[in-house]
Structure 1
Amino acid sequence: MATATTAGAGDATAGATSAAPMTHRQILEALSGLLIGLFVAILSSTVVSNALPTIIADLHADETTYTWVITSTLLATTVSTPLWGKMADLTSKKMLVQLGLVIFVVGSAIAGVSNGPGMLIAARVVQGIGAGGLTALTQVIMAAMISPRERGRYSGYLGAVFALATIGGPLIGGVIVDTSWLGWRWCFYVGVPFAALAWVVLRKTLRLPVYRREARVDWTGAALIAASVSLLLVWVSFAGHQYDWVSWQSGAMVGGALALAGLFVFVESRAAEPIVPLRLFRRGAISLAVVASLFVGVALFGATTFLGQYFQLARGESPTMAGVMTLPMILGLAISSTIAGRIITRTGRWKVFLVTGSLSLAAGFALMGTLRYDTPYPLMAVYMFGIGAGVGMTMQNLVLSVQNQVRPEELGASSSLVAFFRTLGGAVGVAVLGAMLSHRVIAYIQEGLNGLGVKGVANDGSVPRLAELPAPIRAVVQGAYGHGVGDVFLYAAPCAFLALVAILFIKEVPLRTLNSEQVRAGASAQPPETAGAGPGRHARRSRGVRGERGVSRRVRVRSNPEA
């Protein structure tokens, strides 16, 4: 039987005391450390986005390495996310999020001293494992502290942190690369002070009950899913230039990945504590949210990853200016997530934002498909704002829709399930679209050189330095990258549309009014007179919420309809 203690407290407490709702100030104090940790996780990828062309050129690497520096982090985040989520259901969430910070710092230190592409990619894997813990556990801990109904109020903080890290990351990375006495290695060191600060803040402010129970982590399942996803991504990265898409090598890798995936499903169906509980897929709303997250990940990570290349190689901007020029997308994300979160808290309606967000995402990608090296920037800014607004309305609310429908003991597994498929989609998207970009760029460069009457090989796949190219060749390269990145967005648009289709079939369920720890402790979700309130009864909602808080102590001991 599970026992509860309060993590970080000197004495053991449990039951109704630990389940008592936290005040707004207490939530913000605990949330501050989580948000700093989340900032670190996002910064790890965004800070190198505009620096990568310089890093790859300095290491004498090619486009495949460019893709894998990003993909390796996403892959490690993907395969570690379910493991972090499962452990969060079994042991101290506070200890786990601090461990994630330590792993991240170790990976950053190794990345900073890398002397070749292989070492850099390996260090990024370690960073990804730590980032996987930070991203997964942030959602789990927030659900433990805040009820689904109130969570929208705080999702704006997540959006603001996401925006700050996404804006600040490229700018910081650009400034570091443009500053000769620093060098690109400081792109990896810059997150270490933030990680240390997050560790200290969490140590002092986070207080959560720990429910410990006898259980074994499904290491076999974790190994199988890691092997399956890794083999799939290796195939995608090398198909098309190391060997043909249709070849015996492709058949062997795809067949092996599918066999490992099938074996993973078999193992999970029989495991006592599966990494991915297959029973969650029996609920239609959860399955649809997972599918939508997968396609959102493909579109979001797969396409936006290459914006840094577009601004630097198609428009000739510096790394710092490349970061500045992505500002409209980040503003769209921050504004939409903040406004949507507050409206969800006030009205309880969340599906309308998922539908609107996915529609905005699909339209933004389709319009970005018209991108060329000379596309007017004001027009691009409108397209990027639409993409950012779509991300702000979909990403957090997909997690919210799942967390609202599971038992407290399934919270970590279900939250990490959504994050797992989103990052899996991102890893696959970066690998696939990166391979497509490399292929299209080479084709467009060859076409442009033929037009100039230049014979020979167009490009060997390496990232060029525009300043070192003759003016006519530079114009060809800029046109090729502009057209190639436009094609990437065009290929990503159908994925965003498929996410919209999945979201349309998700059934809207009224948001619960208690956090997971209160539900676990046996508290009633809401009084009988409001428990059946559906989406159509929100005209009286503000008065109803106050009434729920006022009578919660009277009904808390009677029933537990949400557990």
Structure 2
Amino acid sequence: MSHREILEALSGLLLAMFVAMLSSTVVSNALPRIVTDLEGSQSGYTWVVVATLLTMTATTPIWGKLADLFSKKLLVQAALVIFAVGSLVAGLAPNMEVLIGARAFQGLGVGGLTALVQVVIASMVSPRERGRYSGYIGAVFATATVSGPLLGGLIVDSPLGWRGCFYVGIPVALLAFLVLQFKLHLPVVKREVKIDYAGATLIAGGVSILLVWVSLAGDQFDWASRTTAVMLAAAVVVIAAALYVEAKVASEPVVPLRLFRDRTTSLATLASVMIGVAMFGSTVYLSQYFQMSRGMTPTHAGLMSICMVGGLLVSSIVSGKVITATGLWKRWLVAGSVLVVVGFALLSRIDAETPLVVVGLFMAVLGVGMGATMQNLVLAVQNNAKAADLGAASSVVAFFRSIGGTVGVSALGALLAHQVADKVYAGLVARGVDPSQAGGGGTGAIPDLSQVDPLLRQVYEGAFGEATGHLFLVSVPFAVVALVCVLFIREVPLRTTTGDQPAPESVAPGATEELSRR
């Protein structure tokens, strides 16, 4: 494909990626208002996010495998339709249960878009040139992340209300569908179809049991209890069965275990899990921090996200261009991982009194690290994968990053709920106030702070501020593990082919000397 043809097709793919990113970012600033209006709890807040992540995680490897068997364009379009239907139902949801179910259905489409966009780009562009286009992906990711909270905040504060946040992605999905119909033309690989339904079901089941346990433990039952033992045992059995099916039974496994024989794939996958835990598990609650602890409107909370996404935008574009020019990518992974660790460590110090300029600076550091890390982990794996495994290998990295994110959001959300409840309870008791009469204080319910007495509001704000800082502190060890994994990844010169051709013997200028030092 010529550069112009690639850009034309890429425009549709980037619109699809934009709508997938928008689905989470546009809702982030609306969640406090949504949960209050639908009379939900902190657990409900968490599951509005987790429901999408869970179905996205469970279906990402399936979409990746389907991409090796069917028309990639048709699959992307199908994912867009699923996303649009889920968005429509979510916008009409009368209660938290319907909303969470609609978000789960929406996640099916998001999983397809997340996996397939990377696969289609890998089918069109060689790894060496992909860094150039990864910059566009990073720019779209940043744009969606910046415009999402801003747009969501404006919609929530407008007559449309929070329901408009779910409708806004539908016209974008339709536009992406039409652009892909007319501009994306890829050969269809036809061979016998063997979908690993058993493996997919077992993987989804095992992860779901773990998430339900993490979300309910300490609230519905004790952490150390018979229920905990039963759920953990069930999760272990189901995951063990999934591994057996993937290794011994399935002829077309959704997660080919043989891919992990490659050192780069194994380390990049583990790093993706850790990044997912740290990134999704902590940053998803930043919007709640700004609204519940700092008293911001959804619009102002969206403006604060510019700090993080601005750093992500710059580092993703710069790293993509330099990697294309030099063929060297590991240094960007290492530097990005270091900044992720530093960013989380800095954000662990925030509370309800931290100057907003300082919070924004800390967010920018984290954003720069994320921009240099996320896309390049996928690039490293794609560069080592055979053409026949390109879809599966790409989706495996996204799959495990999503697992990490899903577990992170669920676990850290439970931690946030318990910490806020405990701190609010202690603060109210210290002021001689009965927590049961204080708008849900100490019970896990999220109050409408505009209706709370100013003295009690100060208690809530302080509790949310301290608890949010603690979430980032808990995320630091996961970021450190990701850094260690990246350090041990062996740098392989980026291929200049898109097929199953051997990589050229020559490497980029200066790469031989660099690699010899490693």
- TM-score normalised by the chain length of structure 1: 0.89
Indicate which of 1, 5, 10 corresponds to 1:31.
10
**1:435-475 deviations in Å (ceiling 9; x for gaps):** 00001111111222133122344322111111111111011
Q: Which residue of 1 aligns with 2:464?
A: 481
Following superposition, the deviation at residue 80 of structure 1 comes to 0.3
Q: Does 1:297 align with 2:276?
A: yes
Q: Does 1:94 align with 2:73?
A: yes
**1:65-92 deviations in Å (ceiling 9; x for gaps):** 0000000000011000000000001111
Q: Is the 8 A contact 2:268 2:485 kept in 1?
A: yes
Amino acid at match of 1:261: I
Q: Which residue of 2 aligns with 1:183?
A: 161
Amino acid at match of 2:454: A
Q: Which residue of 2 aligns with 1:356?
A: 335
* 1:174 aligned counterpart, secondary structure: helix
Q: Which residue of 2 aligns with 1:242?
A: 220
Q: Does 1:508 align with 2:491?
A: yes
Distance 2:468 2:335 in 1: 25
Q: Is the 8 A contact 2:326 2:508 kept in 1?
A: no
Amino acid at match of 1:430: V
Distance 2:459 2:6 in 1: 54
Amino acid at match of 2:511: P
* 2:189 aligned counterpart, secondary structure: strand
Tell me: CA distance 1:391–1:213, structure 2 relative to 1, closer, same or farther (3 Å): same
Q: Which residue of 1 aligns with 2:448?
A: 465
> What are the within-5 Å matches in structure 2 for residues 332-481 of structure 1?
332-457=311-436, 458-481=441-464
Q: Is the 8 A contact 1:510 1:534 kept in 2?
A: no
Q: Which residue of 1 aligns with 2:512?
A: 536
Q: Which residue of 2 aligns with 1:200?
A: 178
Q: Which residue of 2 aligns with 1:78?
A: 57
Amino acid at match of 2:490: K
* 1:90 aligned counterpart, secondary structure: coil
Following superposition, the deviation at residue 32 of structure 1 comes to 0.2
**1:2-40 deviations in Å (ceiling 9; x for gaps):** xxxxxxxxxxxxxxxxxxxx2211111000000000000
> What are the within-5 Å matches in structure 2 for residues 322-337 of structure 1?
322-337=301-316
Q: Does 1:52 align with 2:27?
A: no
> What are the within-5 Å matches in structure 2 for residues 253-292 of structure 1?
253-270=231-248, 271-292=250-271
Q: Is the 8 A contact 2:435 2:442 kept in 1?
A: no
Q: Which residue of 1 aligns with 2:150?
A: 171
Distance 2:312 2:161 in 1: 30
Distance 1:361 1:538 in 2: 24
Q: Which residue of 2 aligns with 1:14?
A: none
Following superposition, the deviation at residue 215 of structure 1 comes to 2.8
Distance 1:287 1:535 in 2: 24
* 1:209 aligned counterpart, secondary structure: coil
Number of corresponding residues: 510
* 1:326 aligned counterpart, secondary structure: helix
Distance 2:475 2:514 in 1: 37
Distance 2:509 2:229 in 1: 53
Amino acid at match of 2:493: P
Following superposition, the deviation at residue 266 of structure 1 comes to 0.5
Following superposition, the deviation at residue 246 of structure 1 comes to 1.0
Indicate which of 206, 212, 223 corresponds to 2:190.
212
Q: Which residue of 1 aligns with 2:128?
A: 149
Q: Which residue of 1 aligns with 2:86?
A: 107
Q: What is the RMSD computed on CA atoms of the aligned residues?
A: 1.4
Q: Is the 8 A contact 1:91 1:210 kept in 2?
A: yes
Q: Is the 8 A contact 2:327 2:508 kept in 1?
A: no
Following superposition, the deviation at residue 283 of structure 1 comes to 1.2
Q: Is the 8 A contact 2:340 2:365 kept in 1?
A: yes
**1:109-158 deviations in Å (ceiling 9; x for gaps):** 11111111111011001110000000100110111011111111111111
Amino acid at match of 2:160: L
Q: Is the 8 A contact 1:331 1:385 kept in 2?
A: yes
Following superposition, the deviation at residue 294 of structure 1 comes to 0.2
Following superposition, the deviation at residue 534 of structure 1 comes to 7.8
Q: Does 1:252 align with 2:252?
A: no
Distance 1:449 1:52 in 2: 25
Distance 1:253 1:62 in 2: 23
Q: Does 1:309 align with 2:288?
A: yes
Distance 2:508 2:449 in 1: 63
Structure possessing the higher radius of gyration over alpha carbons:
1
Q: Which residue of 1 aligns with 2:207?
A: 229
Amino acid at match of 1:239: A
Amino acid at match of 1:488: L
Distance 1:524 1:384 in 2: 41
Q: Is the 8 A contact 2:269 2:396 kept in 1?
A: yes
Distance 2:348 2:252 in 1: 44
Q: Which residue of 2 aligns with 1:158?
A: 137
Amino acid at match of 1:263: A
**1:376-421 deviations in Å (ceiling 9; x for gaps):** 1111111101111111011000000000001111001000000000
Gaps spanning 5+ residues in structure 2: where? none
Gaps spanning 5+ residues in structure 1: where? 1-21, 540-563
* 2:188 aligned counterpart, secondary structure: strand
* 2:60 aligned counterpart, secondary structure: helix
Q: Is the 8 A contact 2:272 2:482 kept in 1?
A: yes
Distance 1:456 1:386 in 2: 38
Q: Is the 8 A contact 1:69 1:124 kept in 2?
A: yes
Distance 1:280 1:222 in 2: 17
Q: Which moved more, 1:164-173 or 1:190-199?
A: 164-173
